[in-house]
Amino acid sequence: MPTDGPSLEWWNEALPPQQRALWSVEFAIDQVEALVDLASAESEQSDIVRAACAESFFVNVRLLAEFLTRPPNNKDFHATDFVDGWQPPPTPASTRLRDRWWLLGSRQVMHLSKERFPDDLAEILADSQITSSASLRHIARDCREVYEAFRQARQPTI
């Protein structure tokens, strides 16, 4: 850590955990949108790069789903920490983010779940369709829609 400039105490006061958490959420939405073309099955990236981008995409989708749509818990920041009474909008995008996209990220990336390795390989082929650029764009739009509702709810009323 550099010794010149403001002290660590100054930075801790200037950048409280809540602000850093919000920046992480903003970075997550940026990542989701930026990774669509790199993570898609149509990408010309190497298999390793495409897989890493797809994993990052779904990790960030899952972060957004947990922050914006899943029930809060005591150990993680949640949208309710920033907007009293926050409820995600009652839209199909919110429902997909809460249920389908969160589950996909959980079982295909975050956990070595048994659901990742079904008995019928046709299920894997069905899941692989989700990495088309059109599907990833759809997921990114769902994330953006719910995030924008949160961002607007945070705006002070004038």
Would you kindly state where each structural domain of the chain is located, as residue ranges? 9-154
Average pLDDT, the chain: 89
pLDDT of residue 127: 60
pLDDT of residue 150: 97
Name the DSSP letter for residue 99: I
Instruction: Tell me which residue of 154, 147, 139 sits closest to 39, measured CA to CA.
Output: 139
pLDDT of residue 158: 45
Instruction: Tell me which residue of 149, 138, 66 sits closest to 103, measured CA to CA.
Output: 66
> Quick count: other Cβ atoms within 10 Å of Cβ 79?
23
* Tokens standing for residue 156: 């002070």
Report CA torsion sign: 53, 55, 58, 62. negative
Q: Is the pLDDT of residue 128 over 80?
A: no
Distance of alpha carbon 156 from alpha carbon 151, whole angstroms: 10
For the stretch 94-116, pLDDT in tens is 999 999 999 988 887 877 777 77
Query: Residue 63: CB partners within 8 Å, gap ≥ 6?
Result: 24, 25, 28
What does pTM read for this prediction? 0.86
Instruction: Tell me which residue of 55, 68, 54 sits closest to 26, measured CA to CA.
Output: 68
Q: Is the pLDDT of residue 124 over 80?
A: no
Residue type, 1: M
Distance of alpha carbon 118 from alpha carbon 114, whole angstroms: 7
Residues 147/98, Cβ–Cβ less than 8 Å: no
